[in-house]
C-alpha cells in the first residue's frame, strides 16, 4: 500500500492519511463479512425493543442500519413476546431416567416376591375379572402373563368350565327367554336394552352374534322406519304451520285405517294413537271402511281418556276423515282436526308404522285369521301387549304405559 502511494507522488502527510483510510476500509469490510447466527440476531432485536438505540447497536455489533431495520420488520414486538411465552421448559432427562429405573425395580420386586408365587390360573382369573379396564398388554405385563397364552386360553379353550363359555351359555339363555316373551318379535337392539336395564353388561354386536348362533331371528322386518315430521300442514289456514311437539298425554292423537283380508273378505281396523307416549288409546275392528268405524273408535278413545286440554286429531285426507259427519263429531267434542299433505303418507308415519307392526308381528306372522272373531281376538291381544309390554325405541326402550306412568309420577312430584 505504501509503494502504491509513492507511485502516486503523495507527500508524507498525504501518505499517512491514505494508509489510515485504507486500514479502516479493510477492517470495516472484514467486520461486515462476519456472520451473525440466529441467537445473536434474536439478542440484538431484543435489545432494540428494550430501548437501546439503533445507532449504538449497529456500532457495537458492526451491522448496517438497513440490516437492523429489516430484522425488526421481520420480527415485530408481538411475535417476540409469543416466542418467549412458547419457549418450553427444558425436560429433566436425568430425573425421568432415574424415575423409570425406580419403577422398573419396583415392578421386578413385585414380580419376584408376589406375582410369581400366584398360580398362572389365578393370575388369568384376575385378568378375566379386570378385563377391559386397562389395555390387555398392561394387565398381562403387570401380572407376568404372556399375552398370547392368555388369548389362546380365552378364545381357543374348549373346556366347558371356561368363563366365557359359561357367560355365553348364561347370556344365550337370557336372550332366549326375552325373545320368547316378546313373541319372537324383539331383535338385538331391544334385547340389548332389556339386558342392560337388568344389569348385564353387553353390546348389541355380542347379542346379535349369540342370537345368530342360537338361530333366533326377529319376526320384525328391517324395512325403513319413517319418522313423523314435526311440522304438519293443517287444512285450516290458522293451523297451516302447526308444530307437533306434545309435552304431555292427550295433546295430539294420530289415526288411520288398515285393511286385513280374512278368507277373501276385507275387514278394517281403525286406531287412535297418542303421539306423546305412542299408546293406542282407542281402536275398533269393522266390516266396512266407513265413517261410523272411525267415529266409534274416536268416541271410545275420548271417553276412556277424558282429555283435559285442547286435543288435536291428525289424519290423512281419506274421505272418511274429511266427511262432514266425522268433523261435526270432532267439533262437538271441541277437538281440532289436522290433515296430512296430499300424496305424503309419511306425514302420518306413526299410524302407518303401527299398522305395519300389527301385521308383521301379529296378523301375518302366523296363519291368517280364519274369521272376523279371530281377527278381533288377535287385535285385542296385540294392542294390550303393545301398550303394556312392547318396548319402543322412540321412548328410550320403555313401554307406552310405563312412559305415561313416569310422566304422571314426575308431574305429581313437581306439583
For 343-369, what is the mean pLDDT? 83
Q: Where does the pLDDT of residue 22 fall: very low under 50, low under 70, confident under 90, or very high at 90 and above?
A: low
> Are residue 268 and residue 365 in the same domain, yes or no?
yes
pLDDT at residue 215 is higher than 90: no
Neighbours of 398 (CB within 10 A): 19
- Determine phi and psi for 280, rounding to 5 degrees: -80, 110
- For residues 144 and 92, the model is more confident at 144
- The per-residue pLDDT for 159 is 54
Helix (H) or strand (E) holding 262: strand 252-262
Judged on CB neighbours under 10 Å (0-12, 13-18, 19+), 219 is middle
Domain count, the chain: 4
- Statement to judge: residues 199 and 120 lie in one domain: no
| Residues 268-285, mean pLDDT to the nearest whole number | 94
Specify whether 15 is located in the same domain as 150: no
What digits encode the pLDDT tens for the residues 286-298? 988 899 999 999 9
> Is residue 179 assigned to a domain?
yes
Does pLDDT of 320 surpass 70?
yes
**Looking at the structure, do residues 170 and 81 belong to the same domain, yes or no?**
no
Q: 412 falls in which pLDDT band (50, 70, 90)?
A: confident
Residue 270 included in any domain: yes
pLDDT at 78 over 70: no
Query: What is the C-alpha separation between 237 and 234, in angstroms, rounded?
Result: 7
Asked if residue 93 is part of any domain, the answer here is no
Structure confidence at residue 227 (pLDDT): 34
- Residue 82: pLDDT band with limits 50, 70, 90: low
Q: How far apart are CA 47 and CA 40, in angstroms?
A: 11
In angstroms, the Cα distances linking 207 to 84, 183, 187, 239 are 57, 17, 9, 46
134 shares its domain with 207: no
Residue 156's pLDDT band (cuts 50, 70, 90): low
- Model confidence at 238: pLDDT above 80: no
> Taken in order 180, 183, 189, 191, is the CA torsion positive or negative?
negative
Query: Residue 237 CA to chain centroid, in angstroms?
Result: 39
Residue 246 to residue 12: CA distance in whole angstroms: 112
Q: Lowest mean pLDDT of 32-41, 93-102, 286-295, name the range.
A: 32-41
d(CA 164, CA 172): 12
pLDDT of the residue at 241: 31
User: CA dist 411 to 212, 246, 248, 408, Å?
Assistant: 43, 15, 10, 5
Q: Is the pLDDT higher at 218 or at 140?
A: 140
Nearest to 250 by CA among 414, 411, 415, 413: 411
Asked if 140 and 181 sit in the same domain, the reply is no
Note the pLDDT of residue 46. Answer: 81
Same domain, 288 and 398: yes
Same domain, 8 and 61: yes
Supply the pLDDT for residue 381: 92
- pLDDT confidence of 108, banded at 50, 70, 90? confident
- For residue 2, pLDDT over 90 is answered with no
pLDDT at 217 over 90: no
Mean pLDDT throughout 73-92? 61
Does 407 share its domain with 309? yes
Q: What is the sign of the dihedral through the CA atoms of 37, 39, 44 and 49?
A: positive
Please write down the HEC assignment for all residues of 305-340: HCCCCCEEEEECCCHHHHCHHHHHHHHHCCEEEEEC
Could you tell me if residue 197 is inside a domain? Answer: yes
Looking at residue 253, its pLDDT comes to 93
Q: Are residues 327 and 407 in the same domain?
A: yes
Model pLDDT, residue 386: 93
Distance in Å from the first CA to the final CA of the chain: 110
Question: Which of 52, 85, 118 marks a domain boundary?
Answer: 85
Sheet with strand 335-339: strands edge to edge: 280-286, 265-274, 252-262, 311-315, 335-339
Query: Are 179 and 73 members of one domain?
Result: no
CB 59 within 8 A of CB 44: no
How does residue 379 score in pLDDT terms, banded at 50, 70 and 90? Answer: very high
Residues 183, 310, single domain; the answer is: no
Does 383 map to a domain? yes
Nearest to 299 by CA among 253, 241, 357, 251: 253
Highest mean pLDDT among 2-16, 206-220, 323-337: 323-337
13 assigned to some structural domain? yes
CATH of the domain at 278: 3.30.420.10
Structure confidence by residue, pLDDT tens digits, 122-140: 888 888 888 777 888 888 8
- Is residue 96 one of the residues assigned to a domain? no
State the alpha helices, DSSP H only, in 200-290: 204-214
Asked which of 53, 85, 117 is the last residue of a domain, the reply is 85
Among the candidates 32, 54, 85, a domain finishes at 85
Mean pLDDT, the chain, whole residue set: 78
Task: Give the pairing type, strands 311-315 and 280-286.
Answer: unpaired
Residue 118 included in any domain: yes
Round to whole Å and give the CA distance between 239 and 336.
9
Query: Residue 336 CB: number of other CB atoms within 10 A?
Result: 17
pLDDT of 233 reads 37
| Residue reference for cell 374348549 | 158
Expressed as residue numbers, the domain containing 407 is 237-414
**pLDDT of residue 223 exceeding 50:** no
Q: 413 or 367: which carries more pLDDT confidence?
A: 413
E strands of 340-380, at which residues? none
Amino acid at each position: 500500500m505504501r509503494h502504491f502511494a509513492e507511485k502516486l507522488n503523495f507527500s508524507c502527510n498525504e501518505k499517512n492519511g491514505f494508509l489510515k483510510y485504507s486500514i479502516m476500509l479493510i477492517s470495516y469490510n472484514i467486520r461486515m463479512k462476519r456472520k451473525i447466527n440466529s441467537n445473536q440476531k434474536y439478542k440484538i432485536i431484543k435489545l432494540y425493543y428494550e430501548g437501546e438505540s439503533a445507532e449504538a447497536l449497529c456500532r457495537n455489533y458492526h451491522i448496517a442500519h438497513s440490516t437492523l431495520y429489516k430484522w425488526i420488520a421481520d420480527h415485530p414486538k408481538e411475535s417476540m413476546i409469543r416466542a418467549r411465552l412458547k419457549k418450553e421448559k427444558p425436560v429433566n432427562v436425568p430425573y425421568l431416567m432415574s424415575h423409570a429405573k425406580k419403577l422398573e425395580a419396583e415392578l421386578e420386586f413385585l414380580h419376584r416376591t408376589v406375582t410369581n408365587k400366584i398360580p398362572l390360573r389365578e393370575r388369568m382369573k384376575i385378568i378375566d375379572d379386570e378385563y377391559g379396564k386397562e389395555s390387555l398388554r398392561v394387565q398381562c405385563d403387570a401380572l407376568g402373563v404372556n399375552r398370547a397364552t392368555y388369548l389362546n386360553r380365552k378364545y381357543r379353550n374348549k373346556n366347558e368350565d371356561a368363563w366365557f363359555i359359561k357367560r355365553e351359555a348364561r347370556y344365550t339363555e337370557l336372550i332366549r327367554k326375552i325373545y320368547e316373551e316378546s313373541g319372537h318379535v324383539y331383535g338385538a337392539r331391544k334385547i340389548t336394552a332389556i339386558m342392560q336395564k337388568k344389569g348385564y353388561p353387553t353390546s348389541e354386536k355380542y347379542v346379535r352374534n349369540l342370537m345368530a348362533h342360537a338361530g333366533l331371528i326377529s319376526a320384525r322386518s328391517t324395512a325403513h322406519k319413517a319418522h313423523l315430521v314435526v311440522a304438519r300442514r293443517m287444512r285450516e289456514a290458522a293451523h297451516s304451520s302447526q308444530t307437533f311437539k306434545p309435552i304431555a298425554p292427550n295433546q295430539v292423537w294420530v289415526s288411520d285405517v288398515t285393511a286385513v283380508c280374512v278368507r277373501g273378505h276385507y275387514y278394517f281396523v281403525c286406531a287412535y294413537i297418542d303421539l306423546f307416549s305412542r299408546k293406542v288409546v282407542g281402536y275398533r275392528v269393522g266390516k266396512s271402511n266407513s265413517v261410523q268405524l272411525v267415529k266409534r273408535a274416536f268416541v271410545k278413545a275420548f271417553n276412556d281418556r277424558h282429555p283435559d286440554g285442547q286435543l288435536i286429531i291428525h289424519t290423512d285426507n281419506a274421505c272418511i276423515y274429511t266427511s262432514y259427519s266425522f268433523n261435526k263429531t270432532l267439533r262437538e267434542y271441541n277437538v281440532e282436526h289436522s290433515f296430512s299433505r296430499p300424496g305424503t303418507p309419511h306425514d302420518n308415519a306413526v299410524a302407518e308404522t303401527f299398522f305395519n307392526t300389527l301385521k308383521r308381528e301379529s296378523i301375518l306372522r302366523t296363519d291368517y285369521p280364519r274369521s272376523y272373531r279371530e281377527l278381533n281376538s288377535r287385535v285385542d291381544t296385540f294392542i294390550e301387549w303393545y301398550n303394556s309390554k312392547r318396548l319402543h325405541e322412540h321412548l328410550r326402550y320403555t313401554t307406552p304405559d310405563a312412559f305415561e306412568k313416569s310422566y304422571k309420577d314426575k308431574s305429581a312430584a313437581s306439583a
